[in-house]
């Protein structure tokens, strides 16, 4: 009887995760488009670690076994991948506090591999813990200082946190541009940082550079719409 109850409970948990994940992805994708259309000034920045992620139709069959994943994470606290997978599950349903707990356990394992460090930075970025994301992006940059993507995400953390540091953000974006002067996300975010700093002259300057780098970039249209509203 007890075994049957456990199985039933596990199915309920899995069903909750899958149902929330499917509906939330649909609503979230639609919401981002409408939010930007209604209020472009408040639209989220284009950041490196989400830019390359394809928007696919949710497929419940492709989701990991939720119960098994969470049990593995609890039973194997020294397993970095298990902690990350559990954190990812909670992040998908916006259970950010629980996600942070699992990511924190993973972080305590102090991985030294570059990609793992970046993954941790990206994970904390995704749940809005920008100060923690900064810690891991800095560790990554110490290992690979010419990674324009990570450097750009680091800059974004200084813009998005509760107490923004626009000057520090601009410094990181400028460093990234010194590596790749035509990197579109960096040019875009740099213009946004200047805009938020109320420096419209420099914001328009980097809009021009972005347009020169790629006149057909969707980011050009976004910036023009934003700056024309001021």
In a domain, 42, yes or no: no
Last residue of a domain, one of 111, 145, 179: 145
CA distance 167 to 155: 10
> Strand, coil or helix: what is 141?
helix
Q: Are residues 213 and 199 in the same domain?
A: yes
In a domain, 13, yes or no: no
Q: Are residues 135 and 152 in the same domain?
A: no
- Total count of domains within the chain: 2
Q: Are residues 122 and 154 in the same domain?
A: no
Last residue of a domain, one of 117, 145, 173: 145
CA distance 119 to 112: 12
Write the pLDDT tens digit of every residue in 176-196: 999 999 999 999 999 999 999
DSSP letters, 30-54, are HHHHHHHHH-GGGSPP--HHHHT--
Computed over every residue of the chain, the mean pLDDT equals 79
Write the pLDDT tens digit of every residue in 72-126: 999 999 999 999 999 999 988 888 889 999 999 999 998 888 999 999 999 999 9
Domain ranges, residue 185: 146-230
CA distance 226 to 230: 7
Give yes or no for a contact between 120 and 106, defined as CB atoms under 8 angstroms apart. yes
In a domain, 39, yes or no: no
CA distance 133 to 140: 11
Residues of the chain with pLDDT > 90, as a percent, come to 63
Please list, residue by residue across 215-226, b when 16 or more beta carbons sit within 10 angstroms of its beta carbon and e when fewer do. eebebbebbeeb
Write the pLDDT tens digit of every residue in 49-62: 433 322 223 344 43
Say what the pLDDT of residue 61 is: 41
Write the pLDDT tens digit of every residue in 4-42: 433 343 444 455 554 544 344 434 333 333 333 334 433
CA distance 2 to 110: 39
Say what the pLDDT of residue 16 is: 53
In a domain, 175, yes or no: yes
Please state the rounded mean pLDDT for residues 209-224: 95
């Amino acid at each position: 009887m007890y075994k049957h109850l456990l199985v039933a409970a596990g199915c309920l948990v899995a069903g909750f995760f899958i149902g929330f994940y499917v509906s939330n992805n649909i609503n979230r994708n639609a919401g981002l488009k409408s939010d930007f259309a209604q209020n472009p000034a408040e639209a989220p920045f284009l950041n490196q670690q989400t830019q390359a992620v394809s928007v696919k139709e949710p497929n419940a069959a492709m989701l990991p076994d939720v119960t098994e994943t969470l049990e593995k994470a609890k039973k194997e606290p020294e397993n970095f991948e298990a902690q990350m997978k559990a954190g990812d599950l909670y992040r998908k349903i916006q259970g950010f506090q629980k996600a942070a707990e699992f990511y924190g356990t993973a972080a305590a394992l102090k991985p030294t591999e570059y990609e793992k460090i970046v993954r941790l930075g990206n994970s904390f970025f995704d749940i809005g813990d920008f100060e923690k994301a900064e810690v891991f992006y800095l560790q990554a940059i110490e290992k690979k200082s010419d990674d324009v993507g990570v450097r750009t995400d680091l800059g974004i953390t200084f813009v998005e946190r509760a107490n923004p540091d626009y000057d520090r953000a601009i410094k990181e974006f400028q460093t990234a541009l010194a590596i790749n002067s035509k990197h579109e996300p960096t040019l875009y975010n740099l213009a946004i940082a200047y805009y938020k700093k109320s420096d419209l002259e420099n914001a328009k300057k980097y809009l021009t550079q972005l347009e020169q780098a790629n006149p057909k970039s969707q980011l050009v249209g976004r910036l023009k719409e934003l700056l024309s509203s001021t």
